[in-house]
Structure 1
């Protein structure tokens, strides 16, 4: 991503007054026309403000109309640069920047002549602009239902493209399994084992570390230093690169590890081959984890969706061509992981092209040695994120292993239930991602009240979504399994367990969203403790006890999982409702200030 952006000065003493900037920005953008003049005259009764006195004018003591006070509160919501969207300063020509879902580029500035009074910094601050953010929300308006409806509308707008992205990305893995599944039973078992090993030892680790950016990027984007989005992304790329070394070593030595775990030798060998070729896509998968959050933090939720919409058909074609295609292209078993690796790399290339040429560069930070600073913060939060994310992934593999001990019918039933629950989970998970971004943006804007509303709205939405899935599973429980299998024993067992799965949906959705809220405020460690205790201390041991000691069968495992999510969702909601949002704003301000100070020190050392 290009570094063609306006460099934001990091020296605090060079910052002009907020109100001076506001005044100059209004003049530069021609906002002193009749419309604005009428509004200004209604603001301050009997007072005239100009460029020279706005920096020292006492707005608190002035006799202002209620409309004036409301407008000034909105203008000064953040500590610096209160306008909506900052474009790079160009005295001769600047057009409106391209926009995207949830992303406003603002009006095209008029020609500006630079003078000695022109601020050294760009005259606007980039942000995700929602019209409702300009409303004056106070604690006394808590009972007003419109605020919750507004946040629900915004979260719905953010969630839809994220949902599409995750479903299409899931299709990349499904296409690989489907294409191999028609080769042989051994090949299908090997690809399943290889995919499971990749998820446990690689993808879940990467996603866990990537969740750190849910804390860092959204609040950075709406702060006074939006280029920290690019800087934190670069830092995470370095952390990811370090993580790839042990992951690659595990994948290249997978056969001996799988044999030590008593896997079938032929299946273990093919699974190891699968993983060796899958390594080709591992760096791209890591990059995509970072780039997706880079876009989403700016409100560009549709960008990853557009990219993967283009790549998903290519992936399907590659799977057919490399696994089943004509001889010059047909590779057989190894064609599937190669196709997936190519697809991951195509996503990376498309993301880079989009980031360089099709969106503003305001969030980007030029490559420098600063990207090697503050890595410890990312590692600390990343390890907690691994505990929060990977612990849940691993628990499902453990449940699958326990189900395999109950016989082929139970294993087939578990496959049907797992695919069903995983598919419906994509909706609340997408909502959790959207919630992380929305709350992070609001914290960066220093808007704690609306962040509280967004948190409550997200939990209510998760409950509604979960109830819809629950009703669907309950209504179609007797015929649901026919979508996957025609074995009457499997159909009967699925029907008997689906009521438990329906209850499971309610707490699974709420737990997913509370986890997103915790990520947005940097409480990955709390989320990790919740998941670890929920699954490994309470849910899974209780489920195994019911299954094997009291002959509950597969339903015992699902009862255990449901108990674990009741615990996780209950405590998650309690923590979120008790969150001090003013304190969370102060944490964000402290983090931004610390990076600003580090930037000044780095610039000084660089000039010496």
Structure 2
């Protein structure tokens, strides 16, 4: 086996794996090894404890999963305890690390595939991962839309209050949670395919600690939303109803945070369909609850507050289902027993999480500012902006799902120390995003003259939508690329870099340019979209450049370094237990 294949962690043939494992097998227990041979072995392999704790020997096997037994913790060997190294009776098929298994990992000839073949393989894998993620996000989005539709038929004031309430929830809560939890996109996939899969559970517990602390100021804002909205000169009745909306919506805030975490816990192990199955079950219940609590029979009808209550109940149902599924239907390989270690290494999560907040929240907040600017152009422009925003948000779900799948796939490959395939996967994701963007762009161009009728019957609004949709079609290309590049940056732990790109793209280029074109050059709503497109051109160009110039071997080393902290802790704990016993 070549030196390069050892470093990259690429699959090898069965005879090679057998030879490697047989070299680590201890002599028969009934035979006395000679002192010279023992000394020779120590010189060749180094100290015994280094043999079992160094990350260098760790590699994937090419054996099918049906023959693989769960991984055992590393054992630190000291002179006072018996030698527990593998013997001739140890199963040769025991792996050095768990992993998400794909057919491409077991080539029949044992040879590494060509680059073109690897591109095709990664395109297929990413497509397979993306579909369930896309389904999950669409179904969760339907929970929010059910609430809006239910309230929208009560009154215009109620709809305005719900819109303001949901906007406040996005800015002060949901976007921050999404940004913080994005740090798990860096930590979990690499941990799962390393020799310490239980770190998936440990980092999940740590993130729960971090998000629990951040919920306190969020609750404070949501419970005092009415006074805050009155302070920014919102209409009193709208502010009052929005405050009520947020108070009842807060019942689902902890569950929303937990769902963001549990989803990544499952996805990092390749269980992409688990969140989708749960959402498929809960989404119809959410629709039924919205109808019953808002418009149902008199004994159970609650009116306006029924919508946020229904959404909160649905989020909690998703959380309960996730816990039940994780306990009874998922192997415990990734889980870590509850301990005080969940309060350690929180600084790294906070550091990555703050970068994630800057990366996610800066983009969310920019759209709120664009919507505010559109409201100054009159009701027709505002209605048109609502149609265009709903359109772009819907088409964004596909590349966003691909970005999540890309983050998981690259993280898994980095944990497997497969640097070459990680780079190919990143490039393949960018190509796939271009194909998605082309599809949506063509769709919008073909139906641009009638697209507005899906949302509004006003002829003036439909005409304005048709005039701007060609620009929105161009927007799709760069919006899709940015989603993928953000996923690649999260896999690399570069949330802070992503935050800098988004902040400069939207707040230095996009929004100022859009406002200048809109109000100084009289381009109206088109000017705002020209500004947004310019921001995404800048962001996608930087993202692609960073992806193409990545040193993936260095990224593998960084994953090993992050995991080494907990490995050292575990090793020290094992030494302490051996000495005390």
- Give the TM-score normalised by the residue count of structure 2: 0.86
Match of 2:362 among 373, 388, 391: 391
User: 8 Å contact 1:504–1:562 — kept in the other structure?
Assistant: yes
- Give the direction of change, closer, same or farther, for the CA distance of 1:461–1:145 in structure 2 (3 Å limit): same
Matches within 5 A, 1:306-455: 306-455=277-426
Counterpart CA distance in 1 for 2:342 and 2:90 is 28
Check if 1:508 corresponds to 2:479.
yes
* 2:58 is the alignment partner of 1:80: yes
For 2:32, the equivalent position in structure 1 comes to none
1:425-467 residue CA offsets vs partner (Å, 9 max, x unmatched): 0000000000000000000000000000000000000011001
> How much has 1:107 moved relative to structure 2?
3.5
Is contact 2:55–2:560 with CA below 8 Å preserved after alignment?
Answer: no
Q: CA deviation at 1:262?
A: 1.3
The structure richer in helix per residue is 2
8 Å CA contact 1:215, 1:520 repeated in 2: yes
Check conservation: 2:25, 2:86, Cα contact below 8 A: no
Q: Deviations over 1:248-280 (max 9, x none)?
A: 111011111111111111001100000000110
Between the aligned partners of 1:410 and 1:133, the Cα distance in structure 2 is 53
Counterpart position of 2:465 = 494
- The 1:483–1:80 alpha-carbon spacing in structure 2 relative to 1, beyond 3 Å, is same
The 10-residue stretch of structure 1 (585-594 or 210-219) with the greater mean CA deviation from structure 2: 585-594
- The secondary structure found in structure 2 opposite 1:359 is coil
* Cα offset, 1:130, TM superposition: 1.2
User: Would the aligned equivalents of 1:137 and 1:449 in 2 still touch at CA under 8 Å?
Assistant: no
Q: Which residue of 2 aligns with 1:12?
A: none
Does residue 1:129 correspond to 2:104, yes or no? no
Residue 270 in structure 1 maps to residue 241 in structure 2: yes
List structure 1 runs of 4+ shifted beyond 6 angstroms.
41-44, 53-58, 118-122, 604-608
SS in 1 for 2:154: coil
- Contact 2:189–2:409 (8 Å) recurs in 1: yes
Structure 1 residues 547 and 595: CA distance shift in structure 2, 3 A: same
- Where 1:262 maps in the other structure, the secondary structure is coil
Q: CA deviation at 1:80?
A: 2.2
Q: Deviations over 1:349-387 (max 9, x none)?
A: 000000000010000000000000000000011000000
Given candidates 252, 255, 261, the residue that maps to 1:281 is 252
Q: Which residue of the partner structure matches residue 214 of structure 1? A: 185
| 1:70 equivalent in structure 2 | none
Equivalent residue in structure 2 for 1:177, among 148, 154, 168? 148
What per-residue deviation string (whole Å, max 9, x for no partner) do you get for residues 108-134 of structure 1? Answer: 769xxx999466999333210112134
* Cα 1:321/1:591, change in 2 over 3 Å: same
Q: Distance in 1 between matches of 2:146 and 2:503?
A: 32
Corresponding pairs, count: 529
Tell me, in whole angstroms, the C-alpha distance in 1 between the residues paired with 2:17 and 2:68. 26
Matched, 1:229 2:200: yes
Alpha-carbon distance between aligned partners in 1 of 2:563 and 2:317, rounded to the nearest angstrom: 34
What secondary structure, in the 3-state scheme, does the structure 2 residue paired with 1:225 have? Answer: coil
- Residue by residue over 1:295-354, the C-alpha shift from the partner in whole angstroms, topping out at 9 and shown as x without a partner, is 000000000000000000000000001011111111110000000000000000000000
- Alignment-derived partner of residue 66 in structure 2: 106
**1:49 to partner: Cα distance:** 7.1
Q: 1:211 to 1:49 in 2, by over 3 A?
A: closer
Conservation of the 8 A alpha-carbon contact between 1:137 and 1:450: no
Q: CA deviation at 1:594?
A: 1.4
* Structure 2 Cα separation of the partners of residues 42 and 83 of structure 1: 7
Aligned to 1:123, the other structure's residue is in SS state coil
CA contact (8 A) 1:84 1:129 kept: no
Determine the structure 1 residue equivalent to 2:508. 537
**In angstroms, what is the RMSD of aligned CA positions?**
2.9
Distance in structure 2 (CA, Å) of the matches to 1:380 and 1:227: 22
Inter-CA distance 483–418: structure 2 relative to 1 (3 Å threshold): same
Cα displacement string for residues 68-109 of structure 1 (whole angstroms, at most 9, x for unaligned residues):
xxxxxxxx9973264368xxxxxxxxxxxxxxxxxx852476
Name the counterpart of 1:463.
Answer: 434
| C-alpha spacing 1:454/1:490, structure 2 compared with 1 (3 Å) | same
CA distance 1:223–1:489, shift in 2 (3 Å): same
Deviations along 1:522-570, one digit per CA (max 9) or x if unpaired, are 0000000000000000000000000011110000000000000000000
**After superposition, where does 1:186-197 map in structure 2 within 5 Å?**
186-197=157-168
For residues 16 and 453 of structure 2, the distance between their equivalents in structure 1, rounded to whole angstroms, comes to: 70
Partner of 1:260: 231
Mark the CA change 1:414 to 1:605 in structure 2 (over 3 Å): closer, same or farther: farther
Is the 1:84–1:106 Cα contact (8 Å) retained in structure 2?
no
Contact 1:217-1:297 at 8 Å conserved across structures? yes
- TM-score, normalization: structure 1? 0.82
- Could you tell me how far apart the structure 2 residues matched to 1:385 and 1:267 are? 32
Instruction: Using the TM superposition, name which of 554-563 and 592-601 deviates more.
Output: 592-601
Give, in whole Å, the separation in 2 of the partners of 1:195 and 1:261.
16
